[in-house]
Structure 1
Amino acid sequence: MIRGVLFDLDGTLLDHRSAADAAITGWVSAYAPGHARLPEVAGLWEELELPHLAAWHAGECTVEEQRRRRVRALCEELCVRVPADLDAAYEEFSRRYREGWRAYPDAVAALDALDAFGGPALGVLTNGTQRVQEAKVRAIGLEGRVGPVLTGEVLGGHFKPSPAGYTGAAAALGLEPHEVLLVGDDVVKDVTAPAATGMRSVWLDRLNLEPPPEGFPRITTLADLPALLA
C-alpha cells in the first residue's frame, strides 16, 4: 500500500528547463552580444550540468567549484573570454534563473487531488543544494504543501541515484521504501534506481517521448497521478 509520495523538484514540480535556458541565454547575450552560437547556448549549458553536478555529488569538488567549472567550460566552448570572477558570473546567471522559477500548471491541482484522495505523506527528493531547493519550493508557492525538502545534504551526502538517498528519504517520511512512490522525470534517478530499494516509482514524461522502462508506469502530466494511485 502506498502511504507516501516523493516528488522530484526540477522538471517535475518546477519548470527548471525553461528557467535555466532563458537565464543562460540572457547571460551570454549580455556578456557576448551578438554571439553567432547564441541559439546553441541553452543546449550547451544543459550538457554541462550533468558531469559537473556529478563531480560535486561524488565529493570531487565543492558546489561552488562545480559552478565555476561550468561557467569556464561554457566560455571556452564559445571561445569567449573567461570571466575573471567566475563566482560573480554564476551569480548573474543565478539571478536570471531565479526570476524564471515557475511551478508547472498541473502541480497544485495534483496536490489538491492527493489531499482529496486521502492525504498520503508527501516530500520532495531532489539533487540540488538544500538552500536553493527550499527557496524554489517557497518561490513557486508550494511551501507547506509538499512536505520536507530532502537533498543529499540532509541525507548523509547521499544524492540520487544512491540507494541510501531513497531509503533515507522514506525514513524521513516515517515509512519503509515499499510504502513510498517516487514521481520524477529522470528515468534512472527517479524510476529504475529507486526500484532497487523496493520503492515504487512512476516516470513523468512531460514530452511524451517514449515508452517507460519495462515494468514501470508512465504519466505525461501530474494530473494523472491520483488516478494511478487509485
Structure 2
Amino acid sequence: MIHGILFDLDGTLLDHRTAADTAIGAWVTERAPGHPRLGEAGALWAALEEPHLAAWHAGECSLQEQRRRRVRAFCAELAIEIPADLDAAYAGFAEHYRRGWVAFPDAAGALATLDGFRLGVLTNGTQEVQEEKVRVIGLAGWAGPVLTGEVLGGCFKPAAACYTAAAAALGLPPEEVLLVGDDLANDVTGPAVTGMRSVWLDRLGLRPGPEGFPRITTLTELAPLLRPR
C-alpha cells in the first residue's frame, strides 16, 4: 500500500524547460544579438545539461566546474566568444532562469488532493537552488521536504541508494512509496530495483512508456490512480 509520494521537481512540478529555454535565449541575445542559430540555443543548452550534471554527480568535477564546462562547450558550439569569467557568465544565465520559475498549472491542485500521504520532492539539483524553486513557485507548504544528493549521502537518481534514502527520509520502506516524474530513467525505471513504484508523467504525450508502468499526461490524473479499486 502506498503511504508516501515523491515528486520530481524540474519538468514535473516546475516548468524547467520553458524557463531554461527562455533564459539561454536571452543570454545569447545579450552576447550575440541576431545570432543565426538563436532558435537552436534552447535545445543545445538542454543537450549539455545531462552529461555535465552527471560528471558532477559522479564526483568527476565540482558543481562550479561543471557549470563552467557547460558554458564553454555551449559557446564553442555556437561560435560565441568564450567569456573570460565563466562563473559570472553562468550567473548571468541563472538570473534569467530564476525569473522564469513557475509551477505547472496542475501542480498545486494535485498536491492539495493528496492529504494523508507523506509527500516529498526528490531532485538531482542542488539543495539551496531546489529549495528556492519550491518556495518561489508557491509549493513549499504542500510538497514536503526537498531531497537532493546533498542530504541523501551524496547519491543521485538513478542510483538505487538514492531511492532507498529518499524513502527513509519519509520514514517509509521503498515499497510504500510512489515516485512521480517526467524522466524515464530517473523517475520511472530507476526506482523499480528498490521495490519503489512509479508513475511516468508524459506531459507531451509523444510516445508510449515502458510496459508495466502507469502513464499520465497531467498531474490531475494522479489522484484517481491512488483510489482503492
TM-score of the superposition, structure 2-length normalised? 0.98
C-alpha separation in 2, matches of 1:156 and 1:113? 31
Which amino acid in structure 2 is aligned with residue 164 of structure 1?
Answer: A
Secondary structure of the structure 1 residue equivalent to 2:17: helix
C-alpha separation in 1, matches of 2:110 and 2:147? 20
2:134 to 134, 137, 141: 137
Where does residue 179 of structure 1 map in the other structure? Answer: 176
Instruction: Assess if the C-alpha contact under 8 Å between 2:112 and 2:142 holds in 1.
Output: no
C-alpha separation in 1, matches of 2:56 and 2:206? 29
Q: How many corresponding residue pairs?
A: 227
Where does residue 104 of structure 1 map in the other structure? Answer: 104
C-alpha separation in 2, matches of 1:214 and 1:181? 17
Which amino acid in structure 1 is aligned with residue 69 of structure 2?
Answer: R
Q: Which aligned pairs between 1:89-168 and structure 2 lie closer than 5 A?
A: 89-115=89-115, 119-168=116-165
Where does residue 71 of structure 1 map in the other structure? Answer: 71
Where does residue 45 of structure 2 map in the other structure? Answer: 45
The offset of 1:114, in angstroms, is 1.2
- For structure 2, the 5+ residue unaligned runs are none
C-alpha separation in 2, matches of 1:79 and 1:19? 23
Q: Deviations over 1:114-171 (max 9, x none)?
A: 12xxx20000000000000000000000112111100011111100001000000000
Which amino acid in structure 2 is aligned with residue 134 of structure 1?
Answer: E
Q: Which aligned pairs between 1:199-218 and structure 2 lie closer than 5 A?
A: 199-218=196-215
C-alpha separation in 2, matches of 1:173 and 1:165? 13
Give runs of ≥4 in structure 1 deviating > 3 Å.
none
> Which stretch of the first structure deviates more once superposed, 94-103 or 206-215?
206-215
The offset of 1:94, in angstroms, is 0.2
C-alpha separation in 2, matches of 1:217 and 1:211? 10
Where does residue 83 of structure 1 map in the other structure? Answer: 83
Where does residue 192 of structure 2 map in the other structure? Answer: 195
The offset of 1:113, in angstroms, is 1.3
Instruction: Assess if the C-alpha contact under 8 Å between 2:12 and 2:201 holds in 1.
Output: yes
The offset of 1:6, in angstroms, is 0.1
C-alpha separation in 2, matches of 1:126 and 1:209? 23
Q: Deviations over 1:28-76 (max 9, x none)?
A: 0111111111111000000000110000000000110000000000000
Q: Deviations over 1:193-222 (max 9, x none)?
A: 101100000000000011110100000000
C-alpha separation in 2, matches of 1:185 and 1:79? 32
Where does residue 2 of structure 1 map in the other structure? Answer: 2
- For structure 1, the 5+ residue unaligned runs are none
1:226 to 200, 208, 223: 223
C-alpha separation in 2, matches of 1:220 and 1:193? 20
Where does residue 35 of structure 2 map in the other structure? Answer: 35
TM-score of the superposition, structure 1-length normalised? 0.98
Instruction: Assess if the C-alpha contact under 8 Å between 2:155 and 2:162 holds in 1.
Output: yes
Where does residue 57 of structure 1 map in the other structure? Answer: 57
Matched, 1:18 2:15: no
Q: How much identity, in percent, do the aligned residues show?
A: 71
Which amino acid in structure 2 is aligned with residue 183 of structure 1?
Answer: V
Q: Let me know the Cα RMSD of the aligned residues.
A: 0.5
